Amino acid sequence: MHFPFPPRFSLQVALLGAAPLFFCSSAHAQRVPRFGIDGSVFFPSSSKTKDVFGSRFTGIGPGFGETQVSKRKLYPDLDFLREKRGDDRATVIFAGAKVLIPIGRPVISERTTGFAPYSGVGVNLTYANIDAPSVGVQDKGFGIGVSAILGASFGGRFFTEGRYRLSTAAADFNFSGTQLVIGARF
């Protein structure tokens, strides 16, 4: 979905989409928010996107929130992806929020170590900056999306997630697909 509005309006929409990042922190005021790093690989399902940029995008960026999912909780969700193939370049940002729910027996405490599986759903604003001379596209645009998540935490500091993203088109390309994420919190 491409919004033909002035850049100022597009910036306001981007800031509105990023707002959950700042308002979805833990409800425990006495705890310091946990930050870390997330790495991901995204496999687009759109044949047009794959034809121009290849079958995978890679990303690395900041991570926010706890890795242990001991109860249903709202988390910020931010992913930066970039890919270059020949002269064609794409930068994609997914910004929003996700709700994660533990699977199986509840975790005894939020600091419990070990394997803790979870599932969840997410909503996001998708921003794409595309420079693809091979198909005559040089555009920036916004889309919206949802995702289904299945993941597990390991030892309170590390996690891995698999998700399927369903997204509207942004800058003439569709960014629906499968994403694998590995992250650490410090």
pLDDT tens for each residue of 59-83: 988 888 778 887 899 988 899 999 9
The confidence band for 168, taking pLDDT boundaries of 50, 70 and 90, is very high
Q: What is the DSSP string of the chain?
A: ----S-HHHHHHHHHHHHHHHHH-S-S-TTSPPPEEEEEEEEEE--HHHHHHH-S-EEEEEEEES-S---S-EEEEEEEEEEEEETTEEEEEEEEEEEEEEE-SSPPSSTT--SEEEEEEEEEEEEEEEEEEGGGTEEEEEEEEEEEEEEEEEETTTEEEEEEEEEE-EETTEE--EEEEEEEEE-
- pTM, two decimal places: 0.78
pLDDT at 148 over 60: yes
Average pLDDT, integer, range 142-147: 96
- For the chain, what is the mean pLDDT? 83
Ranges of each domain in the chain: 7-185
Looking at the domain 7-185, which fold is it? Answer: Porin (2.40.160)
